[in-house]
Amino acid sequence: MTAPAPPTGRRSLLIAWAALMALTALSWSLAGSGHAGLGVEPSTALIVVLTFVKVLVVGYVFMELHRSVRRLRTVYTCWCATACAVIVALYLLM
């Protein structure tokens, strides 16, 4: 049996919030600046990937999955990766 992780501190919450704001700003800049010279499809796919990174951060930090059992974290991470890959693949192939 493993010892429970320490509770999430204010500093880690602030870092997670700042990371979410930075990822949101990056997504906005990709969408608003003519797709940063990448083209529409690659920049949209990158925005979707950034969105799923934000989903991971929210799950691990704010929903406290970092304190849960390893299997739950693995299932959550695999679900995020699979959903992201399917959405990006369908977008690029359609």
pTM (two decimals): 0.81
d(CA 91, CA 73): 27
Q: Is 12 helix (H, G, I), strand (E, B) or coil?
A: helix
What per-residue confidence (pLDDT) applies to 74? 96
- Residue of higher predicted confidence among 43 and 2: 43
> Domain ranges in the chain?
40-93
**pLDDT (tens digit per residue) in 4-44:** 655 668 888 999 999 999 999 999 988 876 655 667 888 88
**pLDDT (tens digit per residue) in 55-90:** 999 999 999 999 999 999 999 999 999 999 999 999
